Amino acid sequence: MEVAQHYDEIARCNKCGFCQVACPIFRATGQESGVARGRLALVRALIEGRMEWTRELEEPLFNCLLCGACTTNCFPAVETADLLLAARSDYQDQVGRGTAHRLLFDHLLPYPGRLKLAIRTVALGKRSGLSALARALGMLRFIGHDFPRAEGIIDRFPEAALRDVIKPGVLEGKGDKLRIAYFVGCGMDLVCPQAAQASLGLLLEVAKTVAVLDNCCCGLPAMTYGDRQAARKMAERNVRMISSDKFDMVVTDCSSCASFLKKYPELFADDSVMQREAKEGASRIRDIVQILEMCARTGILSAGRTQPVVMTYHDPCHARRGQKLVREPREILKSLPGVEYREMPEADWCCGGAGSYALFHYDLSRKVLERKINNVAKAGADVVVTSCPACIIHLSYGARQRHLPVRVRHISEVVSDFKGCCGTQ
């Protein structure tokens, strides 16, 4: 078992219970199986042979958001999220993968064209009303038992994806020397293409060239569900692009992608050649937030117009805890003229989006989202800013459900509005 290799790390949990305070799932359910020490006790029992691998383990192993909040509140700093990933991998080996799992990770995410076709089919169903009929008939349950309800989280899909408008290739920028590669995240491409175009427009302001990569999914969704093999296959394709010496840096505007790309070397611990290439690529990865903060600090992206507006910021888990990006987005927003920045209560709490989490844990995700939306309301902002498409989708859903007069926007869109450079060549 993969997780057995981490037995000593699991044993470092001293069962103090401080993880309860920070865990969104425990605060939503109050159940010991939904908090770090309870999950680790379960995994320890599996390693020691006191429990068998059965499908009944799916809920406690997979309903964790992997937000990492427990580790920040843990005195021994036990990396519960990483340990659960190893346990999920063993679960898939011992119990088996489901139909939806194989469809998504083997046949859709590795192939951007197929994924786009699937999304367009869903979009057509929403526009025509067929998805509502399928939902009523229960035809969507094979994707996930909560999918018929969760399908409504996305209000509507854009008419065109980013890659419909911007093809892979090199764009000429206004900068002097910097050569940037733009890694296209699935969510940014298919659900938030306007924000992606804003990111490209900003990158073209500072770079001599911006190469739009023909990458596939970063592999994080597969890794999250314990499919290390599928994640590794996707990473192998991407590593050869991001490690190219044609680029000074590789930028992505999805904080989840950025966090996982920086961890690529961990996927190739048994392959020294690939690991060396992955380290080279990972060293070039930058979150768009890092680029925008640098530009705001140096004055490269001085604002072009003033808009009086109240803004707050939601920390994506993969930005704050995955990359330690806390100060940077706030400094960016505070640098914009006319912006009144208000810190949101519990800004670092997960919104419950967590990629495709709601497809399989809709009720839990709604409880987590409700707490977050309560804090959005308390902030009293006109705009909630973040840097993760999954967070944008889920926060927007929560705002619609509560009829809150607040817009949820990607940080690239916000900066572009003030700079006046939204759009690409």
What is the C-alpha separation between 85 and 311, in angstroms, rounded? 35
Torsion of CA 194, 200, 201, 202, to 10 degrees: 110
Q: Which two tokens stand for residue 338?
A: 């006319």
Spacing of C-alpha 326 from chain mean position: 16
What pLDDT does 148 receive?
A: 59
What is the C-alpha separation between 86 and 396, in angstroms, rounded? 32
* Alpha-carbon distances, residue 184 vs 144, 191, 218, 257, 316 (angstroms): 26, 12, 9, 9, 18
pLDDT (tens place) for every residue of the chain, 425 residues total: 789 999 999 999 999 999 999 999 999 999 998 899 999 999 999 999 999 999 999 999 999 999 999 999 999 999 999 999 999 999 999 998 877 778 888 888 888 888 888 887 777 765 555 444 334 434 344 345 555 566 678 777 888 999 999 999 999 999 989 999 999 999 999 999 999 999 999 999 999 999 999 999 999 999 999 999 999 999 999 999 999 999 999 999 999 999 999 999 999 999 999 999 999 999 999 999 999 998 888 777 666 667 789 999 999 999 999 999 999 999 999 989 889 999 999 999 999 988 778 778 889 999 999 999 999 999 999 999 999 999 999 999 999 999 999 999 999 999 998 875 444 44
Cα Rg of the chain, angstroms: 21
What is the C-alpha separation between 268 and 232, in angstroms, rounded? 8
CB atoms closer than 10 angstroms to residue 55: 10
Q: Which residues of 259-283 are buried (b: 16+ CB within 10 A; e: fewer)?
A: bbbbbbbebbeeeeebbebbebbbe
Q: Which two tokens stand for residue 66?
A: 């992997």
What is the C-alpha separation between 97 and 233, in angstroms, rounded? 17
What pLDDT does 425 receive?
A: 40
Spacing of C-alpha 265 from chain mean position: 19
What pLDDT does 141 receive?
A: 46
DSSP code of residue 343:
P
Contact yes or no for 371/346 (Cβ under 8 A)? yes
Q: Answer positive or negative: Cα dihedral of 57, 62, 68, 70.
A: negative
Q: Tell me the residue type at 279.
A: K
Task: Name 354's Cβ contacts closer than 8 Å, sequence gap at least 6.
Answer: 65, 66, 67, 224, 317, 365, 390
What pLDDT does 422 receive?
A: 43
What pLDDT does 361 receive?
A: 86
pTM of the model as a whole: 0.91
What pLDDT does 147 receive?
A: 56
- Give me the domains of the chain, ranges plus CATH numbers: 3-95 (1.10.1060.10), 301-419 (3.40.50)
Angle (deg, nearest 10), helices 112-128 and 130-137? 90
